Amino acid sequence: MTEGPARPDHAILEQVRAAVGAIDGALRGIVSFLTPLKPTLRNELIQLLGEHVERARIAKESLERLLADLERQNEE
């Protein structure tokens, strides 16, 4: 009997979901923090944080793709 790929453990799925949620919450928090600021201060902070925010966004998207793949494997 040949077995297919191993199904992802439920705990791993939950950890990836938690990581996606944490990154998403952090990004939303940054946007909420920046929104009411005066435009000049907001722009300065965006320049300082921009690269880090972009890296977080890319990491979130990567984790979302990984999560989708793991969930697909779990359904098979």
SS3 of 4-67: CCCCCCHHHHHHHHHHHHHHHHHHHHHHHHHCCCCHHHHHHHHHHHHHHHHHHHHHHHHHHHHH
Is there a domain that residue 25 lies in? Answer: yes
| pLDDT for 3 | 57
Is there a domain that residue 2 lies in? Answer: no
Is there a domain that residue 66 lies in? Answer: yes
| pLDDT for 1 | 46
Q: What is the pTM of this model?
A: 0.80
Number of other residues whose CB lies within 10 A of the CB of residue 19: 16
What is the mean pLDDT of each successive set of 10 residues along the chain, which is 76 residues long?
A: 65 94 97 96 96 97 95 85
| pLDDT for 7 | 74
Number of other residues whose CB lies within 10 A of the CB of residue 69: 12
Domain boundaries, position 65: 10-75
Is there a domain that residue 29 lies in? Answer: yes
Is there a domain that residue 32 lies in? Answer: yes
